[in-house]
Amino acid sequence: MDSEKQLSQLVARWLELDRNNATRKEIQGLWDSGNVKELESRMSPRIKFGTAGLRGRMQAGWARMNDLIVIQASQGLAAYVVQEVPNALSRGVVIGHDHRHNSEHWAKLTAAAFLAKGMKVFLLRGIVHTPMVPFSVKRLHAACGVMITASHNPKDDNGYKVYWENAVQIIEPYDQGISESIESDLGPATWDTSDVTASALSSDVTLEMHDAYFASLSAHLLVDKRLNESTSTAFKFVNTSMHGVSDSYVKRAFEGFGFAPFIPVKEQQQPNPDFPTVRFPNPEEKGALDLALATAEREGACYVLAQDPDSDRFSGAERGPSGTWTVFTGDQLGALFASHVISNCATEGSGKTLAKIALVASAVSSKMIEAMAKVEGFKFVQCLTGFKYIGNTALDLVEAGYQVPFGYEEAIGFMFGDEIRDKDGVAATMVFVQMVAALRTKGQTLQDHLENLYKKYGYFQTNNGYFICNDPPTIDTIFSRIRNFDSTSSPSYPKQIAGLTINAVMDLTTGYDNTNPPTYKPSLPLSSGHMIQFRAENEEGLKIFLTTRTSGTEPKIKYYLEGSGQDREAVRNLLIKVIQELGDVWFEAGKHGLGKS
């Protein structure tokens, strides 16, 4: 079948099924004007349902996010859940949405599709933060959950995030099963949303779940309310919700934990789907915290708190005695949070044995917690990147008899307690402000505490980046060369970098781990793209941990590099040398014309 005929069929099928006048007109207009290039990008390939669910630009077409795609995804998901989860019809689905364009409408379309299958629906009323969906799935013992959000993506995007019955984001093979179910159920759809709240199968548990969520925060994370109350006027917090949903959540949490009200960044306080003050509403992006820092300077505040638009990520900043601001990295926050959690677990009378405590981090996050675990005696486990893996790894550890009070990934995502096995920006905010309060009573800052952690466990510094390569075969060539660096053996990975001896190699593409004889099989699951990890060190105690991997969505070879040792300057210089050799020698950037981030 030639491409013109195939495109014609895709357009005809779209116009047959789409009942949204606006998106029908989009496709019809492109067809009438002969805009083949744009139609091809809109129509093929169909947007893929994966472990992150669906996420993409809001436009008409099979390759975009729109009413028809949401309806078909919901029909297929509902059919799959009914097939795979015991008593799914009566256990029901939890559905929530954020404030983005189309979010509320798509939540109702999702509800209508599940109701059409005869399934109970818990549609959370009004905008909610993403952690509310997994929390409610667990509390209600629901069969699954759906959150309509694109997190911190640009304003033109939206998404469809799915949680399984274990209240964790879906992983393999559920994603493939759901995708196949969607593709087998592409026929007539339910477009009428007028009865989704009136149906006998629809229940409104919104207030109940909100109350339970805040009670859970206090039960699991509140350390000393009297201390919070006594110190709450001694220093000020500025908070930005980044035009998202978190403002009301953090307000209520502050009150419950005994803190005086924070100072909001008024320009970013209210939900606004157009995100007018930031190009990318992500606290990690350059310039995203400028308004918050300016507000703090004006108000004389020493701390800035930030959540991303759906409030599952957190960032924090501290003004030092000299007036200089430190915006903590995700890894620095991870170390501070881990120290706080372990300290509370070790407190006399807590009833917790550190040997049965486990903390989890993604494979590309700092290994500082690993160093802490060796000294303090708790267990540290790494897993693949993404909270779908962090959450499921935590559940596996619980099954093995461990308590898992904390997990994180370097992209400012933090998980606390056992009620939500997903990242939660509100929970992270409340742990952060309590750390500030406790340290201030000792005359210390967070930066002081971080320096003390470095002295005890070693100095850790990360330097992450990427090389740009628009030719996939060239990327394959680069990684093939790394796996066959010399002819002495097969495989033959590099043995040195920047004067350090490489002593551990884990290839999560081919399934090789030189530290795990006799099988040499890695402990982590394999990656769908190229991904290799290296550990190296020298006689002076300098160490590096390096992960190189491809991106699933961008033409990049990413690297995640961390150096550690007692000499801070030596670590910094080492990272520069490693990156230079990585590009010049390993990747042959000049030969292949690679761009550098």
The CATH number for 379's domain is 3.40.120.10
| Type of residue at 40 | E
575 vs 561: CA distance, rounded Å: 8
**pLDDT, position 1:** 41
- Say whether both 187 and 80 belong to one domain: yes
DSSP characters over 32-58: HTT-HHHHHHHHSSPPPPBTTBEEEEB
**pLDDT, position 491:** 86
- Say whether both 253 and 363 belong to one domain: no
Strands 556-565 and 531-537: unpaired
Q: Domain for residue 2, yes or no?
A: no
**pLDDT, position 351:** 62
Q: Domain for residue 27, yes or no?
A: no
**pLDDT, position 137:** 98
Q: How many domains does the chain have?
A: 4
Give Cβ neighbours of residue 142 (< 8 Å, ≥ 6 apart).
Answer: 91, 92, 93, 94, 122, 136, 165
- Say whether both 234 and 172 belong to one domain: no
Q: Domain for residue 586, yes or no?
A: yes
Q: Tell me the three state secondary structure of residue 454.
A: helix
Q: Domain for residue 534, yes or no?
A: yes
Q: Domain for residue 9, yes or no?
A: no
Query: What number is the average pLDDT over the span 306-328?
Result: 97
Query: Which DSSP state fits 141?
Result: T
Tokens of 166: 């274990």
- Say whether both 411 and 478 belong to one domain: no
Instruction: Report the percent of the chain where pLDDT is more than 70.
Output: 98
With a cut of 60, say whether residue 348 has pLDDT above it: no
Residue that is last in its domain, among 329, 348, 367: 329
Q: Domain for residue 40, yes or no?
A: no
In the set 103, 136, 151, 339, the catalytic residue is 151
Active site residue 490: no
Q: What tens digit of pLDDT does each residue of 216-264 get?
A: 999 999 999 999 999 888 899 999 999 999 999 999 999 999 999 999 9
**Where in the sequence is the domain holding 517, given as residue range(s)?**
459-596
Q: How confident is the model at residue 394 (pLDDT cuts 50, 70, 90)?
A: very high
Q: How confident is the model at residue 521 (pLDDT cuts 50, 70, 90)?
A: very high
- Say whether both 490 and 415 belong to one domain: no
**pLDDT, position 163:** 97
* pTM for this prediction: 0.94
Residue that is last in its domain, among 456, 479, 510: 456
Residue that is last in its domain, among 329, 361, 378: 329
- Say whether both 361 and 433 belong to one domain: yes
Q: How confident is the model at residue 596 (pLDDT cuts 50, 70, 90)?
A: confident
Number of residues assigned to the chain: 597
Tokens of 463: 């330097």
Q: Sign of the CA dihedral 578, 579, 582, 584?
A: negative
Report angle CA 39, 44, 47 to the nearest 5 degrees. 120
With a cut of 70, say whether residue 350 has pLDDT above it: no
User: Do 308 and 100 form a contact (C-beta atoms < 8 A)?
Assistant: no
- Say whether both 162 and 50 belong to one domain: yes
- Say whether both 387 and 518 belong to one domain: no
E strand spans, 386-497? 403-409, 413-416, 459-468, 496-497
- Say whether both 236 and 277 belong to one domain: yes
With a cut of 80, say whether residue 185 has pLDDT above it: no
- Say whether both 448 and 378 belong to one domain: yes
**pLDDT, position 222:** 96
Instruction: Report the percent of the chain where pLDDT is more than 90.
Output: 89
**pLDDT, position 2:** 66
Q: Domain for residue 216, yes or no?
A: no
With a cut of 50, say whether residue 130 has pLDDT above it: yes
**pLDDT, position 385:** 87
**pLDDT, position 43:** 94
Tokens of 272: 């606004």
Q: Domain for residue 113, yes or no?
A: yes
E strand spans, 152-282? 157-163, 202-203, 237-240, 263-264
Q: How confident is the model at residue 346 (pLDDT cuts 50, 70, 90)?
A: confident
- Say whether both 64 and 196 belong to one domain: yes
Q: What tens digit of pLDDT does each residue of 157-184 get?
A: 999 999 999 999 999 899 999 999 998 8
- Say whether both 357 and 284 belong to one domain: no
